[in-house]
A and B are shown apart, each in its own frame.
Chain A
């Protein structure tokens, strides 16, 4: 009896405010996610989208040191395609493009993906503690401030008798004449310097992915008599396809836009545009020149093209690696 009475009360209370309560809960459940997203949206809008739009607009203007504060860059009357014409007619354009492609591909293949995978495979197949310690040591170059890290490399590459490599390795072996190695082999050092840092990122991702592969597969392969290479080729690599795609895509975009190590190491030299990559050119044009003739409009145009190249590369990667298929729910969960 009492139970029936209570049920009646609840029914009557629900029927008295049916619409307002459901509307409120609907609003609450609908808006809550947006409320959580708001801080991120504000930050991304303020510090990414608005600057991006500004850079895009600036790329059509000739804003520079001489007319800053005078030119009304936001007015369409001051917009032209001159900067883009200047870029594509620049005599050093092919060299800069070639440098960029070489820098990204070499660093990516030999270090950011290649070396990272090798380290991950080795350190997950040896004593766990030793592997962990090795990875920790490798992370040191990422943990070191860039300026300190580059100063260390400069000391290594310095001319004899100051340079460590010249004094302790090449000199005793009678190789070379003690030249400044950043002048004789700038690309080698740029790729090494970036590669040692870049490899640590892939190393962590790949190690985690390899360690997450169920041991049953490995044991089964050994029972079937698979060699180590066959285990890697037919079990490990296919099972870390997604991390491979992620690291390759992420590191390609990261290398395309990174220039700080090159800036500090060679600043695009030693020869004319010898190690100048696209993002460094954008920086040089927009922010740096001996006589202060910084060209913000022109530098923005270089940056805009870099963004376009990055988007194209990302789309190509997603297609080649069939990203959509990789992120499908595992079939076992669908049963």
Chain B
């Protein structure tokens, strides 16, 4: 009886001591909440945010090993807001002192946010994480503004010209001709106007309905800029960092879209709703269209799953670069890398950058790349076992050699709105190409003044 009492007392003492020790240790630990805000189309792009939840344990293990009393607690907020609303949310959230610590966004927003002081330059911190040396240099260039690095690239993509093989066959193309098309585009033998001619033939022969020869995205966005580049246009002056509008290239660019809509039975796409009209359209009744590599996964997962998903797409769709404007010219594509930015309201930027380093690695990035059909961002990623298994990623990778980018400038949004309005007016038949150029010059001068150079 006496022995059991002493045993009980000892046990209680041990429990008490252990509890106090645990409490003392717990009090020493500093839990740092890190809020991560991502835009992602579910389910394809979920890894953009979910990778951080995996990285949390990994980073906490590192912190524990080095005796750092801090521990991160990641909170991921992820949805599929429109870009405009997504940006507004960040700006207003910042104004209220409640911005996320890590914010994923398109690289072209860096200029605006850096100028306003809402994000921090990362040059000093990223040096301490050698994993960042694996990221392609061209992608780092996208996150630079005024000589400093403001973000870490998250993914990349190509924006190919897609075509419907079945409709080309109906038009009389042989399998060999269809298979050779991407090569002809790469060599500059098949131009933008060759594409429109083919589209017109398809309309004339009743293979596609008028308007369905060639489509772009249905509203303003980055996909139009590579066409402007194809006609020799430039968007930014490297010496001054100011935006540029080239009237000669602009005239050719607007003429192309005017001709496409008014003469070549194309561009019946502007204003369409994405889900109910655009995606069903391009996946069934349009001959040529411009899209992103990420849409490959979207079509397979959402729009063509019943027909066989990706297998059906390989059977029926082909893709290549955006053709050159003239014979022998250089085709192109556009990459619009997203990047993780760190808010200037983040109290522990070193931990935020450490977390980003954890997701900037072969495993996590490849998970996202495969699920969302985005291109990899790391050197040697094409040799990574799991990356290699994605056929689309492997076959589209060469497009990065021809890629172009949007400029990092705070006023790109305004520039893009004015130039797109002129394009939509050309497509609608409201403007001639000449009138469109006048409209852009007048609009840019009125809205941006000396912030833009008109050449």
Residues of A within 8 A of B (CB): 65-70, 86, 89, 91-92, 154, 158-159, 162, 177, 180, 182-183, 266, 269-272, 274, 287-294
> B95 and A183: CB pair below 8 A?
no
Known: A269-B270, A271-B424. A69 touches B116 (CB 8 A): yes
- The residues of B that contact A183 with a CB separation of less than 8 Å are 271-272, 277
Known: A66-B410, A183-B277. A292 touches B83 (CB 8 A): yes
| Chain B nearest Cβ from A95, distance in angstroms | 9
| Chain B nearest Cβ from A167, distance in angstroms | 14
The proximity string for B residues 40-77 relative to A, scoring 1 for CB distances below 8 Å and 0 otherwise, is 00000000000000000000000000000000000000
Instruction: Return the contact of A272 from the options B84, B117, B425 (Cβ within 8 A).
Output: B425
26 contacts between A and B (CB under 8 A): A68-B91, A69-B118, A70-B116, A91-B439, A154-B276, A177-B209, A180-B272, A180-B276, A182-B273, A183-B271, A266-B271, A269-B271, A271-B270, A271-B424, A271-B430, A287-B84, A289-B220, A289-B417, A290-B82, A291-B84, A291-B108, A291-B412, A292-B83, A292-B84, A292-B86, A292-B413
| Chain B nearest Cβ from A124, distance in angstroms | 40
Q: Which A-B residue pairs are the 7 nearest by beta carbons? A: A293-B413, A270-B271, A292-B87, A269-B271, A291-B413, A272-B424, A271-B428
CB nearest neighbor in A for B115: A66
Interface: B221 (CB within 8 A): yes
Q: Is the interface of B mostly helix, strand, loop or mixed?
A: helix
CA distance A333 to B144 in the complex (A): 80
CA distance A66 to B451 in the complex (A): 13
Interface: B421 (CB within 8 A): yes
Instruction: Return the contact of A294 from the options B88, B95, B276 (Cβ within 8 A).
Output: B88
> A154 and B416: CB pair below 8 A?
no
Known: A66-B411, A271-B270. A293 touches B417 (CB 8 A): yes
- The residues of B that contact A272 with a CB separation of less than 8 Å are 270, 421, 424-425, 428, 430
CA distance A303 to B439 in the complex (A): 24
Q: Is the interface of A mostly helix, strand, loop or mixed?
A: loop
> A271 and B417: CB pair below 8 A?
no
CA distance A210 to B435 in the complex (A): 56
CB nearest neighbor in A for B443: A91
- The residues of B that contact A270 with a CB separation of less than 8 Å are 270-272
- The residues of B that contact A67 with a CB separation of less than 8 Å are 116
- The residues of B that contact A269 with a CB separation of less than 8 Å are 219, 270-271
CB nearest neighbor in A for B106: A291
CB nearest neighbor in B for A155: B276
> B271 and A294: CB pair below 8 A?
no
Interface: B402 (CB within 8 A): no
CB nearest neighbor in A for B414: A293
> B416 and A287: CB pair below 8 A?
no
CA distance A268 to B412 in the complex (A): 22
- The residues of B that contact A182 with a CB separation of less than 8 Å are 273
CB nearest neighbor in A for B105: A292
CB nearest neighbor in A for B270: A270
- The residues of A that contact B86 with a CB separation of less than 8 Å are 292
- The residues of B that contact A86 with a CB separation of less than 8 Å are 446-447
Within 8 A of A (CB), among B426-446: 428, 430, 439, 442, 446
CA distance A92 to B417 in the complex (A): 13
> B82 and A158: CB pair below 8 A?
no
- The residues of B that contact A266 with a CB separation of less than 8 Å are 271
CA distance A159 to B281 in the complex (A): 9
- The residues of A that contact B219 with a CB separation of less than 8 Å are 269, 290
> B276 and A290: CB pair below 8 A?
no
Interface: B85 (CB within 8 A): yes
Known: A69-B94, A86-B446, A270-B270. A287 touches B85 (CB 8 A): yes
Interface size on B, residues (CB 8 A): 46
- The residues of B that contact A91 with a CB separation of less than 8 Å are 439, 442
CA distance A266 to B272 in the complex (A): 8
Interface: B109 (CB within 8 A): yes
> A292 and B109: CB pair below 8 A?
yes
CA distance A154 to B84 in the complex (A): 23
Known: A68-B116, A180-B277. A290 touches B421 (CB 8 A): no
Instruction: Return the contact of A65 from the options B273, B413, B442 (Cβ within 8 A).
Output: B413
- The residues of A that contact B116 with a CB separation of less than 8 Å are 66-70
> B84 and A288: CB pair below 8 A?
yes
> B220 and A162: CB pair below 8 A?
no
- The residues of A that contact B232 with a CB separation of less than 8 Å are none
Within 8 A of A (CB), among B81-101: 82-88, 91-92, 94-95
- The residues of A that contact B118 with a CB separation of less than 8 Å are 69
- The residues of B that contact A89 with a CB separation of less than 8 Å are 446
> A65 and B88: CB pair below 8 A?
yes
| Chain B nearest Cβ from A7, distance in angstroms | 70
- The residues of B that contact A287 with a CB separation of less than 8 Å are 84-85, 88
Interface: B198 (CB within 8 A): no
> B95 and A66: CB pair below 8 A?
no
A sample of 13 more A-B contacts (CB under 8 A), given A271-B428, A290-B416, is A68-B95, A69-B118, A86-B447, A159-B277, A177-B209, A270-B270, A271-B271, A271-B424, A272-B425, A274-B428, A290-B83, A291-B87, A292-B84
- The residues of B that contact A158 with a CB separation of less than 8 Å are 276-277
Interface: B112 (CB within 8 A): yes
Interface: B280 (CB within 8 A): yes
- The residues of A that contact B270 with a CB separation of less than 8 Å are 269-272
| Chain B nearest Cβ from A259, distance in angstroms | 16
Chain A CB within 10 A, most for which of B91, B94, B273, B439: B273
CA distance A154 to B425 in the complex (A): 25
CB nearest neighbor in B for A163: B276
> B439 and A65: CB pair below 8 A?
no
> B273 and A159: CB pair below 8 A?
no
CB nearest neighbor in B for A159: B277
- The residues of A that contact B115 with a CB separation of less than 8 Å are 66
- The residues of A that contact B276 with a CB separation of less than 8 Å are 154, 158-159, 162, 180
Known: A269-B270, A269-B271, A293-B414. A288 touches B209 (CB 8 A): no
CA distance A269 to B421 in the complex (A): 12
Known: A86-B446, A159-B280. A66 touches B112 (CB 8 A): yes
CA distance A158 to B280 in the complex (A): 11
CA distance A86 to B425 in the complex (A): 19
Known: A86-B446, A183-B277. A290 touches B84 (CB 8 A): yes
- The residues of A that contact B84 with a CB separation of less than 8 Å are 287-292, 294
> A292 and B88: CB pair below 8 A?
yes
CB nearest neighbor in B for A292: B87
CA distance A67 to B82 in the complex (A): 21
CB nearest neighbor in B for A86: B446
CA distance A162 to B303 in the complex (A): 13
> A65 and B87: CB pair below 8 A?
yes
CA distance A271 to B270 in the complex (A): 7
Chain B CB within 10 A, most for which of A92, A162, A271: A271
The proximity string for B residues 270-292 relative to A, scoring 1 for CB distances below 8 Å and 0 otherwise, is 11110011001100000000000
Within 8 A of A (CB), among B108-144: 108-109, 112, 115-118
- The residues of B that contact A154 with a CB separation of less than 8 Å are 273, 276
CA distance A158 to B115 in the complex (A): 44
CB nearest neighbor in B for A177: B209
CB nearest neighbor in A for B109: A292
